[in-house]
């Protein structure tokens, strides 16, 4: 359950109310030992979320720490509470874009991402029962507040966009109510899909990076001749988009649009993207006078790097987009939608034109190869050793990103699953075939069979 960026499990199998209680008590113990006294708690629309939220709050209170309950909403609404309320940390109960029987926890601690060794510490404290004890009557309190309207107010604060005709697909995820309230505040014409929050996800799976999940939005945009469409994952921290012609605008392509608008306001700014992003993005940022920075995949890792470098904008292929310019530096998909409207207005082009202006690259979706958990990092090390010996041009930021005359290919170990992740991008199909053959060759040398692959 204890992953690199969050905690997640299957409810009734690897995740129970007792686990939620232990997580709450352990996190609150760390908060208390750091001099804190109050934690914000939110939850998504999954069927198990209210049960886990109640147990989590009991655990927080058992350590003598107060809970500020912000209720049902997207993860960025919890991040907003943690950024603006008088609290020392925050926990969102969410299964993100996983199947309906999953759930989990995303955390922030004293204004910074809580990940990696922090999450392992939660497990150590729980295993040892090393919790803060409270005297009789010294348990923490629980207070509920409604911040949905304040959060929506913040999303539109200083809005400087134009009026567009837009499709919005909330996917029955936790952002539904926020999207209804947000679109009522924006100029233009808005057509909404699946804004009722339903943990059964009756229409499609809430992961906008899988192209099949954008079919309903594509149909809506085509039928009503809309300017563009946006979609959200289950907990509202990742955005997907299509242009007026139904073409997907992938995460790194969205980042090109945001970067152009941002660099007009902040010339020379550092723009961060993960190692899976297109070379076209890094080249475009450099061409506009910005400083492109390739960094490790993972929303917590990207957020930490933004703080370190003072970057106003970062993004991942997975649709996590982070704005520290006029915002708080966390990944917020409803806010990213607002900034897309603003960027198109500022740049004086339609989203379809902005997408059409991008160079045509030939690339693979994200390819995943099942491997033994204990072998995944070792395999990447073996590949790096062979590449180094051969004199290849390799970026080691996160796994191996190899530059060749054909383009580039990437092989890295997933931090959240027992898989290796690969991707390649080239100037044409023949070049792409050669890059994929190079990946296959490296995997074969390390004894990995090429199995079924998941798209993006």
Q: Nearest 5°: phi and psi at 405? A: -65, -20
List, in order, residues 6 or more apart from 117 with CB less than 8 Å away.
none
- Residue 251 CA to residue 278 CA, distance in Å, equals 10
Q: What's the sign of the alpha-carbon dihedral 33, 34, 39, 42?
A: negative
Angle between helices 148-155 and 75-84 (to 10 degrees): 90
What is the number of other CB atoms lying within 10 angstroms of the CB of residue 210?
17
- Name the 3-class secondary structure at 94: coil
- How far the first Cα of the chain sits from its last, in Å, is 23
- 90-126 CB burial, b ≥16 within 10 A, e <16: bbbbbbbbbebbbbbbbbbbeeebbbbeebebbeebb
Long-range contacts (CB closer than 8 Å, 24 or more residues apart) made by 406-409: 406/431, 406/432, 406/434, 406/435, 407/279, 407/361, 407/431, 407/432, 407/435, 408/279, 408/435, 409/435, 409/436, 409/438, 409/439
- Residue 260 CA to residue 346 CA, distance in Å, equals 10
CB 172 within 8 Å of CB 202? yes
What is the residue-wise DSSP string for 244-291?
TT--B--HHHHHHHHHHHHHHHSTT-EEEEETTS-HHHHHHHHHTT-E
The continuous run of DSSP H or E covering 356 comes out as helix 351-356
Candidates 96, 278, 300, 311; catalytic one: 96
Phi-psi region of 299 (alpha: psi -120 to 50; beta: other; left: phi over 0): alpha
Beta strands (DSSP E) in 320-380 are 321-323, 362-363, 367-370
Nearest to 46 by CA among 5, 96, 1: 96
CB 126 within 8 Å of CB 30? no
Active site residue 96: yes
What is the token pair recorded at 452? Answer: 């079924």
List, in order, residues 6 or more apart from 300 with CB less than 8 Å away.
4, 5, 113, 114, 115, 116
Alpha-carbon separation of residue 427 from 95, 287, 401 (angstroms): 37, 19, 17
Which positions are catalytic? Answer: 96
């Amino acid at each position: 359950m204890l992953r690199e960026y969050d905690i997640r499990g299957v409810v009734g199998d690897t995740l129970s109310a007792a686990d939620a209680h232990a997580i709450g008590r352990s996190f609150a113990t760390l908060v208390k030992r750091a001099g804190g006294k109050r934690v914000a708690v939110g939850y998504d629309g999954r069927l198990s979320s209210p049960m886990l939220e109640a147990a989590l709050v009991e655990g927080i209170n058992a350590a003598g720490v107060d809970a500020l309950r912000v209720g049902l909403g997207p993860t960025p609404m919890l991040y907003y509470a943690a950024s603006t309320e008088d609290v020392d940390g925050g926990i969102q109960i969410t299964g993100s874009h996983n199947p309906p029987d999953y759930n989990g926890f995303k955390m922030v601690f004293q204004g910074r991402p809580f990940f990696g060794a922090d999450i392992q510490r939660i497990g150590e404290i729980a295993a040892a029962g090393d919790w803060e004890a409270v005297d009789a009557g010294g348990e923490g309190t629980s207070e509920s507040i409604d911040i949905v309207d304040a959060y929506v107010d913040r999303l539109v604060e200083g809005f400087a966009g134009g009026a567009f005709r837009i499709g919005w697909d909330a996917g029955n995820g936790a952002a539904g109510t926020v999207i209804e309230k947000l679109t009522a505040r924006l100029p233009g014409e808005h057509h909404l899909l699946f804004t009722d929050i339903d943990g059964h996800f009756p229409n499609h799976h809430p992961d906008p990076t899988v192209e099949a999940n954008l079919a309903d939005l594509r149909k809506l945009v085509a039928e009503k001749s809309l300017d563009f469409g946006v979609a959200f994952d289950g907990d509202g921290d990742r955005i997907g988009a299509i242009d007026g012609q139904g073409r997907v605008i992938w995460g790194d392509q969205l980042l090109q649009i945001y970067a152009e608008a941002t660099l007009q306001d902040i010339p020379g700014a550092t723009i961060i993207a993960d190692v899976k992003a297109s070379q076209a993005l890094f080249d475009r940022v450099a061409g506009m006078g910005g400083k492109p920075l390739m960094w490790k995949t993972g929303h917590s890792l990207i957020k930490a790097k933004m703080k370190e470098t003072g970057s106003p904008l970062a993004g991942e292929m997975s649709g996590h987009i982070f704005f520290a310019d006029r915002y708080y530096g966390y990944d917020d998909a409803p806010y990213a939608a607002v900034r897309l409207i603003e960027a198109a207005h500022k740049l004086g082009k339609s989203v379809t034109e902005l997408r059409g202006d991008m160079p045509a690259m030939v690339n693979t979706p994200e390819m995943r190869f099942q491997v033994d958990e204990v072998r995944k990092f070792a395999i990447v090390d073996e590949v790096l050793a062979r590449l180094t010996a051969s004199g290849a041009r390799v970026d080691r930021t996160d796994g191996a990103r190899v530059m060749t005359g054909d383009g580039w290919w990437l092989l890295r170990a997933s931090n959240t699953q027992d898989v290796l992740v690969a991707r390649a991008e080239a100037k044409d199909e023949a070049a792409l075939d050669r890059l994929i053959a190079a990946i296959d060759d490296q995997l074969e040398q390390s004894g990995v069979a090429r199995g079924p692959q998941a798209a993006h």
